[in-house]
Structures are given as C-alpha cells and as structure tokens.
C-alpha cells in the first residue's frame, strides 16, 4: 500500500535515492519505499549487498536498482544522481543516510578518526546536496532527507566526533529547508535514538576507542533500541508530513526538550552517562 500524507501525496511512482541503502536504516528505508511503489535506487559501498537487496525487491514486484557509491567521492555521487535522473526521469527523494560511528573520549580520538567521520557523515551529506539540490530546483520539486541522530540534538558523552558531525547535519538541514522552500524543495532531518544497526555493534561501520564491542552492544541495548523497519515506518510518516526534524522513537524527544529547556542540566545528564561509560570501560576483564 502506498504511504500517503495529509495532503494526499504518496510515494507511488516517485523516485528515491538512498545512500547507505544496503543495510541498517538504509535497507529498511529502501524496503519501505519499495513497498510504497517507489522507484528505489540503493546506493552503497557494498554493491554486492545492495544488488542482493535490489534483486529481492524486484522479485516482489518492486522497481529497484543497485548503485556502487562511496559518498566521500563527490564526482561519483554526482554521476550516480545524474544516472538516476537519466534513467528514471526525475529525482523525488534523496535520503542522505550513509554514516559511520566513531566513539571515544576526545583524548582517545586520532586525527584519522576525525577525518574519517567528517568525510563520511558531513562531507558525504554535502556531496549529496550538491548533486541533488540543483536538479530538484530545476524540476521545481523534491525532498532531501538527511539522517542525523539524537546526538545532533543533545549533549552527548564519549562521542564528540560523531556528535559534532550530526549537529552539523542538523544545522545544514534546517538552513537548507528555509532556503529550499522558495524552489519547491522540501528538506527534513532524521534524528534516530538508538536503532539496532551495524553502527551499534561496531565493525566496519563503527569503532570505539573506549569500549569493547561487547560493552558497546550492552550499553546500546540498555537504551531500548528499535528495529530498523520500525524506524523506517515512523520516519517515512514524518517525511510525508514534511516535518522538519523527525525524532524516532518519540520518547527521545524528552531529552531534546531537556536540552532546549536547560542546557546545563542536559550536560549534567551527559556527565552521568560518561561516568557510567568509564565504569564499564575500566571494569576488570574489559
């Protein structure tokens, strides 16, 4: 069934380009959009995994394509979007979703860590905007959806690099939304709480300079992570309603409200979380 908002718009017949689309939130968004009869372009560094997902979606009657893309490559991003428009005729949605996580206190982060996370989480989004926004302006419509994080809305601990990039993505999205309205282009930013994705458990998409993989998973599970498909369903509902900042699950909004009401109290809350992280990291056998 197509996903429809209060204005009667839906995803049926639309063209959607999703970065990091082969796994986690990206795969869930790809599946949900395909279920809504969108023409889905799944872009990922793991093109074999993207092609596997595209084949599965096509087997179910959807229109889906796999695209090899490293979002750090601006020229490749522009070429991929150009090919999407050439083949499908337009671009209705860009989901700037690709991202990595690098955790640890600032004194544990290397310059390589900072370069990696800025290149993917921030420059990757900028590259997507640079590729899609002019084409959306030319067609007079479109919707750019950037994936940030609750870490882009609140004070965090032991994840300064990740939080810095996600705050930047929120700021970019808010400013671009104001500017893009005059061109008929919509902009939203997704701010997930904790979602059970590869970033949560480290590995290729994330590393942590403070915690072991087991402890990282344990602390993440304590924050009640939701499944990617649950996130995608709720997130797309917000996108179709043209919400500016989309927080999922909703209970995380309490922390966002706390940040806005009392930044000092929010920092104290982060200090408590940091104490807990340090305790876990320093426990015997860790």
Q: What does the angle CA 186 – CA 178 – CA 236 come to, to the nearest 5 degrees?
A: 30
How far is the C-alpha of 1 from the C-alpha of 255, rounded, in Å? 34
Catalytic residue among 93, 133, 162, 205: 162
Directed axis angle between helix 47-59 and helix 24-35, to 10°? 20
The question of whether 133 is a catalytic residue gets the answer no
How far is the C-alpha of 151 from the C-alpha of 256, rounded, in Å? 10
What is the token pair recorded at 151?
């870490």
Residues 17 and 94: beta-carbon distance below 8 Å? yes
* Beta partners for residue 43, in sequence order: 19, 67
Other CB atoms within a 10 A radius of the CB of residue 206 amount to 20
How far is the C-alpha of 85 from the C-alpha of 136, rounded, in Å? 10
Which class for 198: exposed (0-12), middle (13-18), buried (19 or more C-beta within 10 A)? middle
Instruction: State the DSSP H helix or E strand holding residue 107, giving kind and residue range, or none if neither.
Output: none
SS3 call for 69: coil
Q: How far apart are the first and last CA of the chain?
A: 48
DSSP character at residue 121: I
Which of the residues are catalytic?
Answer: 162
């Amino acid at each position: 069934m197509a996903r429809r908002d209060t204005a009667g718009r839906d995803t049926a017949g639309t063209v959607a380009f999703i970065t990091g689309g082969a796994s986690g939130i990206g795969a869930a968004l790809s599946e949900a959009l395909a279920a809504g009869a969108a023409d889905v372009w799944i872009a990922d560094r793991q093109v074999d995994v993207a092609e596997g997902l595209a084949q599965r979606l096509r087997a179910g009657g959807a229109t889906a394509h796999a695209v090899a893309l490293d979002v750090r490559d601006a020229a490749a991003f522009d070429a991929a979007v150009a090919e999407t428009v050439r083949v499908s005729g337009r671009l209705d949605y860009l989901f700037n979703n690709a991202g990595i996580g690098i955790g640890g206190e600032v004194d544990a982060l290397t310059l390589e860590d900072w370069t990696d996370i800025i290149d993917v989480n921030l420059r990757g989004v900028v590259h997507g905007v640079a590729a899609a926004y002019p084409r959306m302006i030319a067609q007079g419509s479109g919707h750019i959806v950037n994936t940030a994080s609750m870490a882009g809305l609140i004070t965090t601990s032991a994840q300064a690099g990740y939080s810095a990039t996600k705050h930047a993505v929120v700021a970019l999205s808010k400013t671009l939304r104001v500017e893009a309205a005059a061109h008929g282009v919509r902009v939203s930013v997704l701010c997930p709480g904790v979602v059970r994705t590869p970033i949560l458990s480290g590995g290729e998409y994330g590393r942590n300079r403070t915690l072991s993989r087991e402890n990282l998973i344990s602390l993440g599970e304590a924050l009640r992570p939701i499944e990617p498909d649950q996130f995608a369903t709720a997130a797309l509902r917000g996108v179709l309603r043209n919400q500016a900042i989309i927080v999922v699950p909703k209970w995380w909004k309490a922390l966002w409200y706390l940040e806005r009401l009392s930044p000092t109290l929010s920092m104290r809350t982060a200090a408590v979380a940091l104490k807990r992280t340090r305790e876990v990291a320093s426990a015997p056998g860790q």
